[in-house]
Amino acid sequence: MAKGSMMSMVVGGMLAIGLAAAPAALRAQGNGTVLKPADMEKLMPASVYYCGQKAPTQLRNSGGVKFSDGHYILAAMVDTSGYSSGIVAKYQANFVVEVPIHVGGKTLGAGVYGIGFVANDKFLVTDVGAHDVLTVDSATDNDLKRPMPLQVVADPTGRFRLYAGRKYVVLSR
């Protein structure tokens, strides 16, 4: 009997250590799973509509989150050649949000948006007509090992970070 109890304690201890040591990406997967560019090819269209034009998406520079209830957040850089300089200054990526989320602490409803990391360390969300919807502060991660033009990674707090290079905002439900 004592041997069985001891074995249970050892197994329980090993599980506790394993969970404590699990990387943030795995812990965040309880809320959702980070999607990589290969996952996005099945979900994101080859081109998107924004402000009267069709813009090709750059699926190699995309990412997202699939939440445990099956809903998504999707982001993909777009080719903005052909847009005016005013649009290009604030529209860098297409952003699809299937459920209300928090972006930098502010609530954003479900919808399809244009997004951009803009001057003065701001993150701007616009509707498809290029009208401002939400603006929050962005942060800079100087410790990011491999910055990409756009990527989504798990945040150490169980939320998610949307990066453009080293600049990012925190996303959560």
What is the CB neighbour count within 10 angstroms for residue 60? 14
Handedness of CA 169, 65, 134, 158 (dihedral sign): negative
pLDDT tens digits, 77-101: 999 998 999 999 999 999 999 999 9
Distance between CA atoms of 40 and 23, rounded to whole angstroms?
Answer: 23
pLDDT tens digits, 116-131: 999 999 999 999 999 9
Q: How confident is the model at residue 8 (pLDDT cuts 50, 70, 90)?
A: very low
Predicted local distance difference test score (pLDDT) of residue 11 = 39
pLDDT of residue 18 exceeding 60, the answer is: no
| Helices and strands: H and E segment counts in the chain | 4, 14
Q: Residue 139 is inside which H or E element, if any?
A: strand 139-140
Predicted local distance difference test score (pLDDT) of residue 3 = 54
Token readout for 71 is: 């809903």
What is the CB neighbour count within 10 angstroms for residue 86? 9
pLDDT of residue 65 exceeding 80, the answer is: yes
Q: Which residues pair with 169 in a beta bridge?
A: 162
Chain Cα centroid distance, residue 45: 17
Q: How confident is the model at residue 75 (pLDDT cuts 50, 70, 90)?
A: very high
Give the residue extent of every domain in the chain: 24-172
Say if CB 87 and CB 51 are below 8 A apart: yes
Give percent of the chain above pLDDT 90: 79
